[in-house]
């Protein structure tokens, strides 16, 4: 198979690096966007001058947002021609990363980038105040209509499948809500034509399903949130988002912000403390409104002590076990 030098789509064969940079400020989860309308994630092409993918990513984010990057992990590599908008000049391949930091105030003066609450783009993901009216009011009925549309074309199985997927992902019909299915929910809305990115032409009759982003950036944001929500359960990554000293309630609020749901306070504290994730700083804060709380700091040592938690299946002990 010969390798063509050009093609009709005018796409380049290189790769773009895209970052989902997250912070939690004032109990709200935020994502770093580029200044131009806050509609895109920081990104740029991987170039021969970059030592590695990560260093290339850091360079682009810092250039576009003047914000330093801390913890970084790779998310996913996309290459769908039909989902990136089809503009010429852009690379086909997108390598996406998740970054965790604390929001900083513009230091040099120029505020080039904007931190945006991420539920602005995916409003149905925030259930801290109960199930959003958007779901029962707009999403659920429109998804049911979408299923019926398949039925009217005679595709009975497709109808059942669509209803089932809607119920699983959005917790309809008595199904439990699963906060990790962020990407599946967005993709379902995309397939059903209920997000602006899925419409080529006019956006008439579009339900208020959040602010759209350029290219497939909303999909990448969804991927990042999904990964973060999953990871927070078995790795102490929340602390990358916390200031040096924090109260347990602040920590809890951060977790709730990310997960989009409230957690049981006492059990959350027990979990954190019995895992020795934090240690007291000895100081207190009275700024919480009620009884002053102890200030804690993350025990960085745990990152070395325990490699991973990792759920475990029934493992046999002795060398000749399994009988």
Please pick, from the candidates 95, 166, 182, 213, the single residue that binds a second copy as defined by CB under 8 A: 95
Residue where the block lists tokens 């120029």: 110
Name the strand (E) or helix (H) holding 75.
strand 71-78
Residue 245 neighbours by CB under 8 Å, 6+ apart: 281, 283, 295, 296, 297
Phi/psi region, residue 86 (left: phi>0; alpha: psi -120 to 50; beta: rest), is left
Stretch that binds a second copy, among 51-59, 101-109, 111-119, 289-297 (CB under 8 A): 51-59
Q: Which of residues 273-292 bind DNA (CB under 7 A)?
A: 286, 288-292
247 binding partner (options a second copy, DNA, none; Cβ < 5 to 8 Å by kind): DNA
242 binds DNA (CB under 7 A): no
Closest of 284, 246, 230 to residue 76, by C-alpha: 230
Q: Identify the DSSP state of 136.
A: I
For residue 156, state whether it binds a second copy (rule: CB under 8 A).
Answer: no
Q: Is 184 in the site for a second copy (CB under 8 A)?
A: yes
- If the CB atoms of residues 137 and 243 are measured against DNA, the closer one turns out to be 243
Buried-exposed string 237-252: b where 16+ CB fall within 10 A, e elsewhere? bbbbbbeeebbbebbb
Please state, as a whole number, how many other Cβ atoms lie within 10 Å of the Cβ of residue 63. Answer: 11
- 291-310 residues near DNA, rule: CB under 7 A: 291-294
48 binding a second copy? (CB under 8 A) = yes
User: Which chain residues interact with a second copy by CB under 8 A?
Assistant: 1-4, 6-7, 11, 13-15, 45-49, 51-53, 59, 63, 74, 76-77, 79-81, 93, 95, 129-131, 164, 168-169, 178, 180-181, 184, 230, 232-234, 252, 255-256, 259, 261-265, 267-268, 271, 304, 307-308, 310-316, 319, 321-323
């Amino acid at each position: 198979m010969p390798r063509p030098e050009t093609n009709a789509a005018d796409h380049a064969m290189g790769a773009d690096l895209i970052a989902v940079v997250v912070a939690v400020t004032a109990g709200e989860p935020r994502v770093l966007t580029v200044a131009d309308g806050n509609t895109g994630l920081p990104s740029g092409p991987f170039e021969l001058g970059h030592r590695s993918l990560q260093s290339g990513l850091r360079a682009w984010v810092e250039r576009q947002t003047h914000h330093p990057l801390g913890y970084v992990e790779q998310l996913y590599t996309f290459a769908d021609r039909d989902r990136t908008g089809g503009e010429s000049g852009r690379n086909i391949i997108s390598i996406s990363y998740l970054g965790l930091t604390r929001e900083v105030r513009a230091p040099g003066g120029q505020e080039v980038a904007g931190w945006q609450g991420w539920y602005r783009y995916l409003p149905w993901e925030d259930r801290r105040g109960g199930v959003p009216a958007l779901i029962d009011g707009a999403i659920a009925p429109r998804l049911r209509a979408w299923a019926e549309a398949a039925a009217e074309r005679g595709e009975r199985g497709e109808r059942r499948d669509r209803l089932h997927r809607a119920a699983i992902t959005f917790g309809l019909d008595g199904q439990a809500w699963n906060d990790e299915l962020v990407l599946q929910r967005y993709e379902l809305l995309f397939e059903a034509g209920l997000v602006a990115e899925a419409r080529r032409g006019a956006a008439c009759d579009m339900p208020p399903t959040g602010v759209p982003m350029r290219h497939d950036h909303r999909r990448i944001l969804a991927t990042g949130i999904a990964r973060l929500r999953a990871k927070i359960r078995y790795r102490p990554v929340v602390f990358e988002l916390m200031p040096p000293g924090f109260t347990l309630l602040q920590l809890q609020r951060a977790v709730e912000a990310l997960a989009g749901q409230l957690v049981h306070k006492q059990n959350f504290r027990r979990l954190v403390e019995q895992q020795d994730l934090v240690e007291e700083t000895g100081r207190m804060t009275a700024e919480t409104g009620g009884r002053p709380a102890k200030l804690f700091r993350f025990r960085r040592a745990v990152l070395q002590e325990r490699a991973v938690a990792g759920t475990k299946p029934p493992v046999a002990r002795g060398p000749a076990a399994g009988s």
